[in-house]
Amino acid sequence: MQGTVDGFGYGVVTPVASYLIACLGSALGLRCVVRSLNNRQSWKPGWLALGAATIGCGIWTMHFVAMVGFRIQGIQIDYDARLTALSLVVAIAVVGIGVFAVGYRGATATTLTAAGIFTGLGVAAMHYLGMAALQLNGSLRYDSLTVGASVLIAVVAATAALWAAASYRGFLAALGASLPMGVALTGMHYTGMAALGVHLHGATDASYITGMYGDASPTSILLPMLIGPVVFLILAGVVVMFDPQLVLGDGDWSRTAPRRRRAAAAVPERPTHSPRTGSLFDSRGQQAGRHTTPRGR
């Protein structure tokens, strides 16, 4: 027996909320990656790890916020806590491979493409592992062509976002890159959900539902699990907003630095004491000229 799947149990509320969370996680994570690329004095592993964790948490939170509106007519659903937590770990770990590759190998075409592929695969792996955490009186089946389309969307979105963040390094550029990435991430999620079909097993009467799941609803199950990642995204936002180079954009700093150096070079320095002759930094011709002048007198 086929179950009727509804991914919009709360209308547009869950898609809009998941999109905003995807944009937030992407913007914060991409800024952390750019921070590590442009400032060699910063603690690179720390910024890259924060970027990977922020992007991974954003993707994971986006997925399960969208799943709050997921319903299967006639049956109750639950989530396996271990697989749900594992999907978060996988998202951060696989995204971290791409992030650290860009951070240590530089923003070359080859590295950005490979990092985008890893990051996109991390998005897809998180989605389908999170779906595997579903517990219900039935089995999940997927249309392979639609699944392939969802994975392709994730890879293209991640690659494009990394390219944009590495090419345009201002804060507004990262924010702009996060907006289409948020569209692609939520689009990937709902494309993957469109590939889903549910085959129900046996009876789906109320006694079975109450005996196995009690009175739990998807909202009451998922919201407690979402508290930790949401708090982490808020704290990551605080860290980013208190870093002036992330707020103003490293590109702005790099453009103004040459101007400051040119302005300083245009003003001649006035020595406060007589210059020393025979300095190690003088050329031989200058040193010889200083020594031959007294002899002419």
Instruction: Give the phi and the psi of residue 169 in degrees, each rounded to 5.
Output: -100, 10
* Cβ atoms of 253 and 245 closer than 8 Å: yes
SS (H, E, C) 31-61: HHHHHHHHCCCCCHHHHHHHHHHHHHHHHHH
Estimate to the nearest angstrom the gap between the alpha carbon of 87 and the chain centroid.
16
Among 81, 84, 77, residue whose Cα is nearest residue 219: 77
Beta partners for residue 71, in sequence order: 6
Among 164, 197, 194, residue whose Cα is nearest residue 179: 164
- pTM for this predicted structure: 0.74
Please report the pLDDT score of residue 204 as a whole number: 52
Among 44, 21, 23, 179, residue whose Cα is nearest residue 101: 44
Structure tokens at 257: 């630095």
* Cβ atoms of 27 and 78 closer than 8 Å: no
Burial of 168 (0-12, 13-18, 19+ CB in 10 A): middle
Among 55, 65, 152, residue whose Cα is nearest residue 94: 55
| Cα separation of the two ends of the chain | 112
Q: What residue ranges do the domains of the chain occupy?
A: 2-253
Listed in order, strand segments (DSSP E) in the chain are 2-3, 5-6, 71-72, 78-79, 134-135, 138-142, 196-200
* Cβ atoms of 182 and 22 closer than 8 Å: yes
* Cβ atoms of 69 and 13 closer than 8 Å: yes
Edge-to-edge strand list for the sheet holding 2-3: 2-3, 196-200, 138-142
Q: Give the separation between CA 174 and CA 30, rounded to whole angstroms.
A: 7
Structure tokens at 153: 């969307």
Could you give the residue ranges of the DSSP H alpha helices within 168-217? 171-194, 206-213
Question: One digit per residue, pLDDT tens: the chain, 297 residues?
Answer: 777 888 888 889 999 999 999 999 988 888 888 787 776 666 888 889 999 999 999 999 999 999 998 988 878 888 998 999 999 999 999 889 888 888 888 778 888 888 888 888 888 989 999 999 998 888 899 999 999 999 999 898 888 877 876 776 666 766 777 888 888 889 999 999 999 999 887 655 444 343 334 445 666 777 788 888 889 988 888 888 777 655 554 444 444 444 444 554 555 555 544 444 443 334 444 444 444 445 544
